[in-house]
Structure 1
């Protein structure tokens, strides 16, 4: 296992180049294809690939530390790795044939995007994207939105409703992993969010795409894999937000340090010597510290659960979920409630340090708040807070995010129905 310090030194020059161009890319809306390709070539996508399989074999905590470093350079680039890292996390639960197929590809710098969510029209618990048996292969058809990372990736992992030989939908939903540039796949850069504008979170369409059986991966709810993946996906978002807070801290400090103009309502000293301004920057730094510390505490809880998964041979048996998995899930939920508030407050406080000049579009300081707010909206914080409260009051096991769809009165579920 390679240490954080060694990897930080390895990636630092790349992070510095990424940071230098972050604001220009955001302002001109230039997708970061080249920086991501450079990171992949340097092995950033293989952080969690075992060393015996050609990767770095790091812990989740080390991975999140590096991801925070990257997010401080450019939160868009860090965010788009969420899909790829999530895919790699699931590989230990797959067959040896699947691992032999994907670990070498990831170690060689190839990446996997995401195509799970549909923009609307699918009932909760179902999908309009279909996966049909077609002789020795399968056929994938449908349209997805929020396909973060896919536009930069070599492959994308698509959630789909499995169809029976009779053409009727079954109760199963599988993942299909397909080449992004393959026949029948079309990727659109149509994400129009006001923040995280360069994550490639747009539409991907699939028109009769042929899928090798080895690239059809079952989804089994109620397993340790399902609990782990749900918590891990949320942790990545929190790491991205922690990086944004650190970036806001650094920008605030740099702005104050070089400012010479002041106000007659102050002491008349340069801003960098003003006690009250120093305190404002200190508060931003404290929020950034608290956000990062919270994320890393949750990462350590996931690492503790990972040891139990490994000891159990990465069992796919439904219901065979160690208690440590739910402890980790609760840690991530607690972080999910607090970290966005800390980061948004840090991004907002940035404008209290130097006055109206901070709002100049030439500085691009608004991007920290825009980006933090966009990431924070990915899952309703109120749902996480409710889950935490239910656990501490009633001992109810938390329920991971299993599906998104149109709700009806008959689609309401209880925790026991989806655990």
Structure 2
């Protein structure tokens, strides 16, 4: 549970949490007012991220420390609130929050603290694309390579980034060192010389998330921009570092829940206003339909909330996390992903049968894009393997 001790700023953690959630609701109300028009325009989220910065959300959604940042439970609550109004912006905020943890996942405490303090001070917006270790790494050619130069490196290559590629301040990437073969996690300022941004166009959904490609040509990487080494196999991964990928996937589950909540709320308003295909007075089965959809949403919420609580405890444990714990956390996250994916696609398709209002289809399209890259069958096999074999650390990679 959140502590009630006073912070350096004179407010308790509970008071800061309450203020942050109120701010998130205000921003969500603002985003909801023109969500359909912005989604149809499909432009990079320049205006949207300006709204986030004006409200102070990028600075607030950084790892917790005395007087600053947000704990995992609060950060996920903010993400879900924003995603219910505009899932593209929720996606941006989810990836920002998790990538802002990169210093803790990969670097030492001093560098992590400096990065987080700089992020709060400068209102940095983070994005990135860090690949999870894979057996294919040994045979595939790396898309990003580092070559030593002086005390640092030169970075070359290109990679797809799912959000905020044109508007982020810091981009977190992993790249292979051409001389040692080590895979290093680096932080690249988006305005650095040699960085070229190529926004994606005409996406099916999540059209305002700002997806695109970042191309890097002889980009200088100073030693302070190297966060650490990304282990190439499961056995050499520190337990706390192993939480990085599940944390991102769990944050995106909250974006999925936001899509579900937004779709149901909009359909409900249409039914209440008599603008749906079916009205309660003329079709008693409408109650059955809403009951089924609401139950599916509540089931997904319960599963995601449980995974969120377990992840929060693991993050609070920090570097003292036991070697067996990441697999158990990853199993719960995979379960949350599976349930949320099914619920999001089912519910967003269901509301289209209730009403044919402009923009209502965006919820299904957004859910489809958010869930398309991770087939449910693969997650179910991994969950089954974990159930049979127990909380073995080597199982964690199966969930990635």
TM bucket normalised to smaller: 0.7 to 0.9
8 A contact 1:83–1:149 mirrored in 2: no
8 A contact 2:327–2:396 mirrored in 1: no
Inter-partner Cα distance in structure 2 for 1:87 and 1:224: 18
The structure 2 residue matched to 1:7, chosen from 3, 6, 20, is 20
The structure 2 residue matched to 1:378, chosen from 368, 373, 377, is 373
Partner of 1:410: none
Partner of 2:240: 225
Inter-partner Cα distance in structure 2 for 1:173 and 1:321: 24
1:17 aligns with 2:30: yes
Partner of 1:345: 346
Partner of 2:69: 56
SS across alignment from 2:216: strand
Distance change in 2, residues 1:128/1:122 (3 Å): farther
Partner of 1:47: 61
| Matched residues, number | 374
Mapping 1:65-144, distance limit 5 Å: 65-93=77-105, 94-108=107-121, 109-116=123-130, 127-144=142-159
Distance change in 2, residues 1:110/1:70 (3 Å): same
The structure 1 residue matched to 2:262, chosen from 222, 243, 247, is 247
Mapping 1:252-267, distance limit 5 Å: 252-259=267-274
8 A contact 2:326–2:396 mirrored in 1: no
Partner of 2:7: none
Inter-partner Cα distance in structure 2 for 1:148 and 1:128: 19
SS across alignment from 1:144: strand
8 A contact 1:2–1:57 mirrored in 2: no
SS across alignment from 1:153: coil
Inter-partner Cα distance in structure 1 for 2:361 and 2:139: 36
Partner of 1:389: 384
1:165-194 C-alpha deviation (Å, 9 max, x unpaired): xxxxx3311122111122100111125431
**Range that drifts further, 182-191 or 94-103:** 94-103
Partner of 1:299: 308
Q: CA deviation at 1:260?
A: 6.1
Partner of 2:334: 333
Stretches of structure 1 that go unaligned for 5 or more consecutive residues are 165-169, 264-269, 313-319, 404-419
8 A contact 2:104–2:112 mirrored in 1: yes
8 A contact 1:115–1:145 mirrored in 2: yes
The structure 2 residue matched to 1:280, chosen from 270, 283, 289, is 289
Max Rg structure: 1
Partner of 2:10: none
Q: CA deviation at 1:90?
A: 3.0
8 A contact 1:61–1:299 mirrored in 2: yes
TM-score (norm 2): 0.86
Partner of 1:216: 226
**Range that drifts further, 381-390 or 33-42:** 33-42
Inter-partner Cα distance in structure 2 for 1:260 and 1:171: 60
Inter-partner Cα distance in structure 2 for 1:128 and 1:261: 49
Inter-partner Cα distance in structure 2 for 1:95 and 1:75: 33
Inter-partner Cα distance in structure 2 for 1:260 and 1:342: 24
8 A contact 1:186–1:204 mirrored in 2: yes
Inter-partner Cα distance in structure 1 for 2:157 and 2:276: 57
Distance change in 2, residues 1:291/1:262 (3 Å): closer
Inter-partner Cα distance in structure 1 for 2:275 and 2:189: 54
8 A contact 1:191–1:200 mirrored in 2: no
Distance change in 2, residues 1:337/1:156 (3 Å): same
8 A contact 1:244–1:343 mirrored in 2: yes
Stretches of structure 2 that go unaligned for 5 or more consecutive residues are 1-12, 232-236
TM-align CA RMSD: 2.6
Inter-partner Cα distance in structure 2 for 1:96 and 1:262: 57
SS across alignment from 1:10: helix
TM-score (norm 1): 0.82
Distance change in 2, residues 1:328/1:116 (3 Å): closer
8 A contact 1:256–1:272 mirrored in 2: no
1:399 aligns with 2:376: no
Inter-partner Cα distance in structure 2 for 1:234 and 1:218: 21
Distance change in 2, residues 1:365/1:335 (3 Å): same
